[in-house]
Chains A and B, each alone.
Chain A
Amino acid sequence: MTEKTPCFWVPQDVIFFLGTEGLIAFNVFTRSHVEFDAVGLIDFLKTPKQIAEIESFIQNQSIGRGVRDVTWFSSEAGLLTDPSNLCRNPKTQWLSQASEIVQLLQNRWILISNEKGYRARFGVKQNIFDNQHFGNFHQQLGHQLRIVKRENPDHWWARQKYKDGKEELQDNLYKFIQYSFYQKHFKPENVCGKKILDVGCGTGFYSRHLARQGASVTGIDPNPEYIERAQSVAGNLGANFQVIDIAAGDSLKVLPSDAFDFIIFQDALMFYFVPYGNKKLNTRKTVLTELKRALKFGGILMVMEPHGIFWLQPWLGGMENPFTILTEYAFKTYGVTPTLSQLSEAFEEAGLKIKRIHEPPVSDQAKSFEPRGYAISRQFPQWWVFELVK
């Protein structure tokens, strides 16, 4: 019996849109992009084909310059850079050889031959060397930094958020949304004389902002270098800093009870839902319960997290009506942000009540620095903020 020749087809996850020089095939789940100068080839691939048929088509038909890989790990420059910003892509060579084109289309999941095998790849990697699973965002970022770039993820984290010296924010959406929110909500009239705990303070940028408003701030972070830096930069501003790793053991027990009017907890709770790396963490219930203990009655625990719909979706459309493709919300294989109901459950478990939810807007200042980021962030929130009370 002869073995059946496998057929190849374009999975339903692939969409097409105009690129800079051709038509781009984009697999929305693998986030891979291939640009086609050979538009006739796309038409040909509308129905499943055997490999020999595809190769014969490429050899015998006019395919222009062929196809080229325009896939790029867009988050390398920063979490909030445009994931669909194809014009920033390194321009790879156009391929015109049949075998090379077919190989590229398979490698980039624009062509598949086994639906079940392809779907089985959606899932977390066992480790960053596992090339059988696509992995979640943390793992893909870890792979890109550790394996491809050999960069320390901690350095990347600081670099995409802060300018050199780690004392000022970059002119990106961190500044125009997050900082803008803090500027609006933490003014002298509501924080002067108040005690504030800044959890995961890093080098103390937000602690200094709060101290300048007249608050008495305690910043905590697991990184001793950051704490040393925070202390030296803050000088006599009214902020003090301690090395405390909230993820580890009983570390939070050292915090006083009923002590703080505000507790700021930013971009960290998600790691208690989907951990980064192999480190064993305290449970989210432990962390939230301890923070609640440290909060005064009438005080506010402010949890700011990447929005449940935020996460590296392509920014499409024009400046007036930008749109995006939402591939996941309830069941995530790539995304790492908890849903609204998961967060709400975690808060309830710790005995915290939601007083108010904000979806911070982007400030107009963003317009001149990141016009597309401004346009998309006006329509789609990047973060949500929960004001919690005990």
Chain B
Amino acid sequence: MREDIIDDILKHIKSVVIPGSNVKPNDMLFESGVLDSFSMVELISFLENKYSIRLTEEDLIKENLETILKIAHLVEKKKK
């Protein structure tokens, strides 16, 4: 399950945000500049639609979104 989510996030980033990006699941997304706030919101909407979940204001804090791994963990938790 988590692997699938990670795959989806990587595909989204590589196709929509930065074509050909070499981003890794553990890379710090904000610090490295891979995603800005706008692209993060787009990624969140994409994941909400794909997995039929709704992430709340409390979920959407920096600590939960810092890496692809953490985002996948959050989505997995909401999916349960």
Residues of A within 8 A of B (CB): 126-132, 142, 146-148, 150, 277-278
Contact = CB atoms under 8 A, between A and B. Distances in A.
A320 B61 CA distance: 44
A129 B38 contact: no
B37 A142 contact: yes
Contact of A150 (B45, B62, B65): B45
Interface string B31-66: 000001110110001000000000001001110010
A220 to B, nearest CB: 24
Contact of A278 (B37, B41, B57): B37
Interface in B7-37: 30, 36-37
Main secondary structure of the interface of A (DSSP, over half): loop
A129 B62 CA distance: 5
Nearest to A146: B41
Give the 4 A-B residue pairs with the shortest CB-CB distance, closest first: A129-B62, A278-B36, A127-B37, A131-B61
Contacts of A128: 37, 41
Given A129-B40, A277-B38, A147 B57 contact: yes
Contact of B30 (A127, A142, A146): A127
B38 A278 contact: yes
Given A147-B57, A148-B57, A127 B45 contact: no
Given A126-B30, A127-B36, A278-B36, A147 B62 contact: no
Contact of B60 (A129, A132, A277): A129
B16 to A, nearest CB: 17
Given A129-B40, A131-B62, A132-B62, 19 more contacts: A126-B30, A126-B62, A127-B30, A127-B37, A127-B40, A128-B37, A129-B60, A131-B61, A142-B37, A146-B41, A147-B41, A147-B57, A147-B60, A148-B57, A150-B45, A277-B36, A277-B37, A278-B37, A278-B38
Contacts of B65: 129
Contacts of A146: 37, 41
Contacts, number: 35
A132 B30 CA distance: 15
Contacts of A131: 61-62
Interface of B: 30, 36-38, 40-41, 45, 57, 60-62, 65
Given A142-B37, A147-B57, A130 B62 contact: yes
Contacts of B30: 126-127, 129
Contacts of B61: 129-131
A278 B40 CA distance: 12
A382 B45 CA distance: 36
A128 B30 CA distance: 11
Contact of B62 (A127, A142, A277, A278): A127
Nearest to B65: A129
Contacts of A142: 37
Nearest to B60: A147
Tell me which of B30, B37, B57, B65 has the highest count of chain A C-beta atoms within 10 A of its own C-beta. B37
